[in-house]
Amino acid sequence: MQKTLAVFAIAAASTLASGAAQARVDVGIGIGIPGVVVAAPAPPVYYEPAPVYYEPAPVYVAPRPVVVAPGYYDDWEARAWRERQWREQRWREREWRERHREWHRRHDDD
């Protein structure tokens, strides 16, 4: 019974909803007769001219002068780096010689 009622309810809803989806064709006939229009011409319209923008004049500024004071400028950081590199290189060479001698002492006796 409930299934039957559900089927009827769905059928009724679809029947009512489909009425809006029906397509129809309307035919209309119109006869256009131009009427007489009497009006004064529109007054002229005046527009304000566009504002004029001027680009500002370019400004040229001379660069500041470079002043080098006389004297001796020592690059102590570069000198310290070079000395550190030199010491590390000498240390590596000395270590290599010592290890090379030790290796020869161990293996030359064989």
Where along the chain do its domains lie? 76-110
The two tokens of residue 78 are 């570069």
Q: Mean pLDDT, to the nearest integer, of 31-51? A: 80
Q: Is the pTM of this model over 0.75?
A: no
User: Which tens digit of pLDDT belongs to each residue from 43-62?
Assistant: 888 888 888 888 889 999 99
Radius of gyration of the chain (CA): 53
The pLDDT, as a whole number, for residue 21 is 57
pLDDT greater than 60 at residue 18: no
- SS3 for the chain, per residue? CHHHHHHHHHHHHHHHHHHHHCCCCCCCCCCCCCCCCCCCCCCCCCCCCCCCCCCCCCCCCCCCCCCCCCCCCCCHHHHHHHHHHHHHHHHHHHHHHHHHHHHHHHHHCC
Which of 57, 14, 16 has its CA nearest to residue 6?
14
The pLDDT, as a whole number, for residue 83 is 94
User: Which tens digit of pLDDT belongs to each residue from 87-108?
Assistant: 999 999 999 888 888 888 888 7
| One-letter identity of residue 30 | G
